[in-house]
């Protein structure tokens, strides 16, 4: 075992009290705040005050702050700049509801509370409001801590919904008969909020049969991942059937597919995150995208003191399973995703969505065969670990933010020996006790838990500037030079590369 792994395990065992293994119910879907029960005045007092007392921090550049969201003319003709659209929001009950919903979404996803006075100022100058869509690593880290504190104090309540599950022993060869309603997964058509503004995301082009195969397979992988921390003799262990075999682990399922003539490939992809899905229409009635990215102030500065500000990203593993000429029985030709997001942790159907034209994309770290199978098995072990962490510590939204938007970075380290993404904000001292607890079980995944312990030990936090932040922030610019939608990303590329 590598010295780094041994050091990590010793460190974690010293700092973590390993408790007796205990059963926990694994959820997959995220939490939804019941806003009718939120005391706005209380939240303003607890979380809005510290922002209101520091107007210079977020508001000094407010008159020009909206320019961050101006799309560079001519680069993305299917878009219309966010400030132009916000200027048309009417000061009506519908318009005010839209602004309040945006503020609620910012808090729901980032823990950044938009004070009531900023919501009220929107119709005078929306740039003050937009400043709450730009934050440093520390502000995001602090925001996630705030929303978990509010959740645990009972100042906000939320409803967690269970994902669909497949019956014990479900036969994957019969995926078409699974008791799953595909329409529950397909993105809804865009909803008109008021004249000239819609909210929605593009649907993918896959057939309903294709989507069902992907949904059923993703659910199977998630239920197999739930076995990760269990002993082999645990009667609650889930198993599936494929090609006549009884299977209880992700590695065994993907291995059985490979043995039956399927190719297994995966790669890492990331793009600018589009949380809001805003759309408008052109004069011909065609939808145009309204880019509303979240901007990260890296706090890496140029010689003149200008900070590199770039877009936050969403990263995920893309899994491609394809049948071959020697495949017998039911062939699978599907795409599956693995990620930690605000809609859950684990495996998801890969063809449900198409993506906006402006978000860019980087595809890297391609794997196939046994390497891909082992990597995806480790991802499943980690998603189970993160869910159990969230349930143990009563974390909001299954720990999204607190246990990472950087989960891939931990498993990335186990193969590549480095972490390439930004920002890294996992509170690893929450995750470490669960990893240590499961490592002590010495079950069939002991090797995976040792790797996760080593990866967690190496994980840095971007709540402050650190030696690797500059390069990782540069890596996560998702457009080639000359195709950046925003001038601030052009500047960030120069600053982060040391050219400015």
Q: For 401-429, what is the mean pLDDT?
A: 89
Q: Give the up-direction half-sphere exposure of residue 286: CA atoms within 13 A in the CB hemisphere.
A: 6
Tell me, what's the pLDDT at 43? 79
Within a domain: residue 75?
no
Q: Residue 72: is its pLDDT beyond 60?
A: yes
Within a domain: residue 92?
no
- Cα 35 to chain centroid distance, Å, stands at 23
Give backbone dihedrals phi and psi of 390, rounded to 5 degrees, phi first.
Answer: -60, -40
| 493/489 Cα distance (integer angstroms) | 6
Within a domain: residue 403?
yes
| 487/309 Cα distance (integer angstroms) | 10
The answer to whether residues 254 and 377 touch, using CB atoms and an 8 Å cutoff, is yes
Number of domains in the chain: 1
What residues pair up with 343 in beta bridges, in sequence order? none
For residue 16, name the pLDDT band (cuts at 50, 70, 90). Answer: very low
Name the percent of the chain lying above pLDDT 90. Answer: 68
Mean of pLDDT over the chain:
87
Cβ-proximal residues to 399 (8 Å cutoff; 6+ apart), any chain: 345, 386, 387, 389, 390, 393, 430
Closest CA to 61 of 301, 298, 297: 297
For the ranges 32-41, 104-113, 435-444, which has the lowest average pLDDT? 32-41
Tell me, what's the pLDDT at 66? 62
Closest CA to 407 of 474, 456, 342: 456
Tell me, what's the pLDDT at 312? 95
Closest CA to 217 of 351, 375, 29: 351
**Alpha-carbon distance values, 405 to 181, 261, 273, 415 (Å):** 29, 35, 12, 19
| 488/192 Cα distance (integer angstroms) | 30
Within a domain: residue 163?
no
Token pair recorded at residue 312: 């936050």
| 169/178 Cα distance (integer angstroms) | 12
| 213/176 Cα distance (integer angstroms) | 7
Within a domain: residue 288?
no
Q: Give the up-direction half-sphere exposure of residue 8: CA atoms within 13 A in the CB hemisphere.
A: 24
Range of the domain at 472: 172-189+204-275+294-497
Neighbouring CB atoms inside 10 A of 465's CB total 14
3-state SS track over the chain: CCHHHHHHHHHHHHHCCCCCCCCCCCCCCCEEECHHHCCHHHHHHHHHHHHHCCHHHHHCCHHHHHHHHCECCCCCCCECCHHHHHCCCCCCHHHHHHHHHHHHHHHHHHCCCCCHHHHHHCCCCHHHHHHHHEEEHHHHHHHHHHHHHHHHHCCCCEEECCCCCCCCCCEHHHHHHCCCCHHHCCCCCCEEEECCEEECCCECCCCHHHHHHHHHHHHHHHHHHCCCCCCCCCCCCCCEEECCEEECCHHHHHHHHHHCCCEEEEEEEEEECCCCCEEEECCCCCEEECCCCCEEEEEEECCCCCEEEEECEEEEEEEEEECCCCCCCCCCCEEEEEEEECCEEEEEECCCECCCCCCCCEEEEEEEHHHHHHHHHHHHHHHHHHHHHHHHCCCHHHHCCCCCCCHHHHHHHHHHCCCCCCCCCCCHHHHHHHHHHHHHCCCCCHHHHHHHHHHHHHCCCCCCCCCCHHHHHHHCCCCCCCCCCEHHHHHHHHHHCCCC
For residue 31, name the pLDDT band (cuts at 50, 70, 90). Answer: low
Give backbone dihedrals phi and psi of 7, rounded to 5 degrees, phi first.
Answer: -60, -40
Within a domain: residue 246?
yes
Tell me, what's the pLDDT at 304? 92
* Between residues 263 and 150, the one the model is more confident about: 263
Kindly report, residue by residue over 73-89, the tens digit of the pLDDT. 999 999 999 999 999 99
Kindly report, residue by residue over 200-254, the tens digit of the pLDDT. 999 999 999 999 999 999 999 999 999 999 988 899 999 999 999 999 999 999 9
Within a domain: residue 113?
no
Kindly report, residue by residue over 355-375, the tens digit of the pLDDT. 999 999 999 999 999 999 999
Highest mean pLDDT among 12-16, 46-50, 107-111, 491-495: 491-495
| 347/356 Cα distance (integer angstroms) | 22
For residue 473, name the pLDDT band (cuts at 50, 70, 90). Answer: very high
- Angle at which helices 250-259 and 208-225 cross, to 10°: 130
Within a domain: residue 98?
no
Give backbone dihedrals phi and psi of 293, rounded to 5 degrees, phi first.
Answer: -75, 160
Q: For 453-473, what is the mean pLDDT?
A: 93
Tell me, what's the pLDDT at 194? 87
- Cα 350 to chain centroid distance, Å, stands at 14
Token pair recorded at residue 336: 């599956």
Length of the chain: 500
The answer to whether residues 238 and 224 touch, using CB atoms and an 8 Å cutoff, is yes
Q: What is the pTM of this model?
A: 0.90
Q: Residue 9: is its pLDDT beyond 60?
A: no
């Amino acid at each position: 075992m590598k010295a780094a792994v041994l050091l990590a395990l010793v460190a974690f065992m010293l700092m973590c009290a390993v408790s007796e293994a205990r059963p926990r119910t694994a959820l997959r879907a995220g939490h939804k705040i019941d806003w009718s029960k939120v005391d706005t005045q209380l939240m303003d007092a607890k979380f809005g005050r510290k922002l209101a007392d520091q107007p210079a921090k977020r508001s000094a550049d407010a008159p020009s702050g909206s320019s961050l969201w101006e799309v560079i003319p001519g680069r993305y003709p299917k878009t219309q700049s966010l400030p132009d659209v916000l200027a048309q929001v009417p000061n009506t009950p519908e318009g005010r509801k839209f602004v309040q919903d945006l503020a609620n979404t910012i808090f729901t996803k980032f823990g950044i509370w938009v004070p009531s006075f900023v919501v009220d100022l929107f119709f005078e100058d929306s740039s003050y409001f937009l400043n709450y869509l730009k934050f440093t690593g520390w502000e995001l880290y602090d925001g996630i801590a705030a929303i978990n504190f509010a959740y645990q104090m009972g100042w906000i309540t939320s409803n967690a919904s269970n994902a669909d599950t497949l019956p014990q022993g479900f036969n994957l060869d019969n995926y078409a008969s699974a008791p799953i309603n595909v329409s529950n997964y397909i993105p809804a058509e865009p909803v008109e909020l008021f004249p000239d503004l819609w909210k929605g995301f593009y649907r993918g082009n896959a057939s309903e049969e294709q989507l069902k195969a992907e949904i059923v397979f993703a659910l199977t992988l998630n239920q197999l991942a739930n076995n990760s921390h269990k002993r082999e003799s645990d009667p609650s262990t889930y198993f599936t059937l494929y090609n006549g075999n009884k299977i209880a682990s992700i590695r065994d399922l993907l291995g059985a597919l490979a043995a039956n003539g399927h190719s297994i490939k995966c790669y890492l992809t990331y793009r600018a995150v589009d949380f809001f899905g805003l759309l408008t229409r052109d004069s011909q009635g065609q939808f145009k995208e309204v880019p509303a990215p979240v901007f990260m102030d890296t706090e890496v500065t140029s010689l003149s003191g200008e900070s590199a500000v770039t877009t936050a990203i969403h990263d995920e593993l893309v899994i491609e399973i394809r049948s071959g000429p020697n495949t017998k029985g039911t062939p699978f030709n599907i795409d599956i995703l693995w990620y930690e997001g605000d809609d859950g942790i684990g495996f998801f159907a890969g063809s449900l969505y198409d993506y906006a034209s402006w978000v860019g994309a980087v595809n890297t770290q391609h794997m196939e065969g046994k390497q891909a199978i082992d990597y995806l098995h480790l991802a499943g072990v980690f998603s189970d670990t993160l869910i159990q962490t969230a349930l143990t510590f009563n974390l909001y939204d299954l720990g999204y933010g607190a246990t990472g938007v950087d989960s891939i970075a931990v498993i990335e380290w186990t193969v590549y020996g480095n972490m390439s993404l930004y920002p890294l904000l996992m509170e690893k001292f929450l995750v470490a006790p669960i990893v240590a607890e499961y490592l002590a079980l010495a079950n069939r995944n002991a090797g995976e838990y040792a790797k996760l312990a080593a990866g967690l030990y190496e994980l840095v936090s971007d709540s402050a500037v650190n030696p690797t932040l500059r390069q990782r922030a540069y890596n996560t610019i998702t457009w080639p030079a000359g195709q950046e939608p925003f001038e601030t990303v052009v500047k960030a590329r120069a600053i982060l590369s040391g050219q400015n």
